[in-house]
Structure 1
Amino acid sequence: MEAMGVPGMLLPFVIALELFGGIAILLGFKARLIAVLFVGFNIVSALIFHQFWIDESQMNPFMKNIAIAGGFLMIFVHGAGAYSIENSKTHKI
């Protein structure tokens, strides 16, 4: 991260977002909120780390991040699904 000009102190936050956010999406807990965070994260990381306009070999990783952001947009639009914690009848959070 530091090689691309991003402070290394952000790494623990990135790890926490990816780990706990991924688990939350998997379980369907606050899925729409987490999905929006992941959309922003994927677009920002694509622009910072996969600069295809400088290095053509970065086009595939750039497009991968944009495609993942699109998948998270689908979660945001459609919600977590029928078997998620959010749609559980006993969920009171």
Structure 2
Amino acid sequence: MADLATLLGRILIALLFLGGGVQKISDPEPARALLAMRGLPEALLWPALAFNLAAGLALTLGWRTGPVAALLAAYCAVTSWFHWQPEDPWQITIFVKNWAIAGGCLVLAAHGAGRFALDARSPRGQGARPS
């Protein structure tokens, strides 16, 4: 049951990043606006998009889950800064959600991908939980 719950949790978290990547492809303007609002180059959209898609796919498959989840936690912490807009309750909700997602990623980084993952098949067990 724990491995099934871990698989489902990995997929649900990954869907946020995969969806974020698709959203940046289909409608890049909101992300560009957030970057511009913070004085950052809008070209950062493209590496963020690539990271969202690659990390979401890796998390879904359970490939190198520990390092990928740790990177995603850091990504959530850093990108929460874009949503720190106290005058906008919706943005504050996204800010808090980013930190909650970071927490879920840290749990995955610490405990691994579970049995239903590519990590579980590797000889080194990249982040797979011990039996």
* Cα deviation, residue 69, structure 1: 0.4
1:43 has 2:77 as partner: yes
Q: Give the aligned CA root-mean-square deviation in angstroms.
A: 1.6
Scaled by the length of structure 1, the TM-score of the pair is: 0.85
Question: What amino acid is aligned across from residue 55 of structure 1 in structure 2?
Answer: E
User: Which segment is superposed worse, 6-15 or 64-73?
Assistant: 6-15
Greater share of helix: 2
Runs of 4+ in structure 1 off by over 3 angstroms are none
1:7 has 2:41 as partner: yes
Q: How many residue pairs are counted as aligned between the two chains?
A: 89
* Cα deviation, residue 4, structure 1: 2.3
Q: Say which SS state the counterpart of residue 119 (structure 2) adopts.
A: coil
1:55 has 2:82 as partner: no
Query: What residue ranges of structure 2 are gaps of 5+ in the alignment?
Result: 1-34, 125-131
User: 2:52 & 2:41 partners in 1: Cα distance?
Assistant: 17
* Cα deviation, residue 59, structure 1: 2.0
Higher RCO (C-alpha 8 Å, min separation 6):
1
| Alignment deviations for residues 11-34 of structure 1 (CA, whole Å, 9 cap, x no partner) | 111011100100000101011111
Q: Say which SS state the counterpart of residue 97 (structure 2) adopts.
A: helix
* Cα deviation, residue 3, structure 1: 2.5
Q: Say which SS state the counterpart of residue 86 (structure 1) adopts.
A: helix
Scaled by the length of structure 2, the TM-score of the pair is: 0.62
1:72 has 2:92 as partner: no
Query: Percent of counterpart pairs with the same letter?
Result: 33
